[in-house]
Amino acid sequence: MSYDVLGLAQHLRSIGVPVSTEEIRDTYAALAVVGAERAMLALEMVLVKDDEARRALASIAPLFADTAAETAGTDGSDVVARHLRGLDQDSLREFARTALSRRDAVATTVAAHELVERHVTIQPGAPVAGNVHVMKAYRAVGPDRLRDELEGELPRSDHDPLSSLRARLWRDEVDRRLEVLRQAIETEVRRRLVHDRGASSVADAVRAGLPEDVDFLTASTQDILRLSSVMDTLPSRLERRLAHAAARPPDGRLDIRRTLRASMATGGVPARPAFHPRRPPKPGLVVLADISGSVASFARFTLSLAHGLHRRFHSVRSFVFVDGPDEVSDLLHDSTDLRRTAAHIDAHRLGVHLDGHSDYGRTFQQFWRSCGHQLDPSTIVMVLGDARGNYRDAQEDCLKAIARRAGRVFWLSPERKATWHDGDCLIDTYQPHCSGVFEVRNIRQLEEFVVRHAR
């Protein structure tokens, strides 16, 4: 099997998977010596380096495969396909059940082709991923009924002490076989989409992005779990990037002794002046995080990151708010489980002082009154939230006072910039008092912000 390796590499790069020119060349070399059954394994070994990138590759690689040979009717599948066209729906479902029962890959593929042929109508040029088409064809075969029939093929014995274990293992095997059928249907649907629109446009619609690109506001429960695994390693990765960014030529005071000593090798000419290393004082960090509604997951991840980088600051203080600030610094510092910490914050209604509706103005007012005197020019204040204040008083004078007292004030919003000026969003009101306002919708943008500004 051959692949459009260049097109595949381009799409992997577009979602943040690094692919070098040498790896592309190695991929061509590997595909030239392996068979079709090992082509995907070769792609995984050469092009990707971790599990998340491997998932992304698996979602788009089939789109760039040359399946002409496969669809030409090898292994007698064209004869079987002609036979299936004359069957009614019940007979087709029985054929699919038999194929799954016998683990017949060719018959399963042909059954999937006929299901798609009967139940899927692809609109030319429609920019879709095909998921609806896949589910329509899959449901037509009656997966629940198929599951019951396949599970019924396992002989049962009341006298066998291992019967319950065998039954559970068989149920897992049945689920795997049904997934093979679903994937065969998905492959056929996407093959037709590629024929209609080309591999690149279909890949744009179906590709599975890396966790670093998952939108905080639209993340599913599964996405949140993937984000959590990335956040575990993000602080150490950022530490390395920050250390690399700081490893530029020193610009401290001239070191006379080292300069004179080095000049002895150049006839007394100080050709290579030496400097004392820069040791800038560590700033303090204060985080104000909106934990209301859909922005809560964004705030929790960012709070976790702030405390993961505590060595970069002489102190890290964190406050959560909905309509009033509550400090959670100790809670986050001692936490080893982000979800458990979030549950504790919710259970104790931290950040909720009145009616539980977002009130940025009251939050800034309360924070200024209680903690404003503790700010100094070495302090970085980060506000995390969408700035949607339910049309309440913005109290911008309080944020102005905070900004005047602190060194820098950054605002991180998980919303798209295009929505910042809609409805009750107060960013336009607060922006003049901030050192910067940034769109931070995913981990990649959060990482870039930290490297560029939070040091």
d(CA 13, CA 18): 6
Strand pairing partners for 287? 318, 382
Q: How many CA atoms lie within 13 A of 28 on its CB side?
A: 10
Residue-by-residue pLDDT tens, the chain, 455 positions: 578 888 888 888 877 788 888 989 998 898 888 877 788 888 888 888 777 788 778 777 877 876 554 444 444 556 666 777 778 888 988 999 999 999 988 889 889 989 998 888 887 776 665 778 888 899 888 888 898 888 888 776 666 666 778 888 888 899 899 989 998 898 888 888 887 777 777 776 665 567 777 787 777 667 777 777 777 777 777 777 666 655 554 556 888 898 999 888 888 888 888 888 776 677 889 999 999 876 777 887 777 777 777 777 888 899 999 999 999 988 887 777 777 888 888 889 999 999 889 999 999 999 999 999 999 999 999 999 999 999 999 999 999 999 999 989 999 999 989 889 888 999 999 999 999 999 998 888 888 888 787 66
Both tokens of 433, joined, read: 């008092």
Both tokens of 299, joined, read: 């705030």
d(CA 90, CA 92): 5
Could you give the 3-state DSSP secondary structure of residue 240? helix
Q: What is the pLDDT of residue 74?
A: 46
d(CA 379, CA 375): 6
Q: What is the pLDDT of residue 161?
A: 63
Of 383, 224, 213, 411, nearest to 301 by C-alpha is 224
Describe the strand order of the beta sheet including 315-321 as a list of residue ranges. 325-327, 315-321, 284-290, 379-384, 408-413, 436-439
Length of the chain: 455
4-42 residue pLDDT tens:
888 888 888 877 788 888 989 998 898 888 877 788 888
Of 84, 190, 183, 201, nearest to 143 by C-alpha is 183
Cβ proximity of 406 and 434 under 8 Å: no
Of 292, 283, 342, nearest to 317 by C-alpha is 283
8-state DSSP, 261: H
User: Which residues fall within 8 angstroms of residue 278, CB to CB, at 6 or more apart?
Assistant: 250, 251, 252
Question: Which is it for strands 315-321 and 325-327: parallel, antiparallel or unpaired?
Answer: antiparallel
The domains located in the chain, with CATH, are 5-212 (no CATH), 222-248+281-453 (3.40.50), 251-279 (no CATH)
Q: What is the pLDDT of residue 209?
A: 62
Helix (H) or strand (E) holding 287: strand 284-290
Could you give the 3-state DSSP secondary structure of residue 59? helix
Helix (H) or strand (E) holding 316: strand 315-321
Global pTM reads: 0.62
Angle between helices 105-119 and 89-102 (to 10 degrees): 150
End-to-end CA distance of the chain, in Å? 50
d(CA 290, CA 319): 9
Both tokens of 333, joined, read: 């510092």
Task: Give the burial class of 323: count Cβ atoms within 10 A of its Cβ; 0-12 exposed, 13-18 middle, 19 or more buried.
Answer: buried
d(CA 274, CA 258): 6
Phi, psi of 190 (to 5 degrees): -70, -30
Please state, in angstroms and as integers, the Cα–Cα distance from residue 179 to each residue in 98, 128, 170, following that order: 15, 22, 14
Question: Which is it for strands 315-321 and 284-290: parallel, antiparallel or unpaired?
Answer: parallel
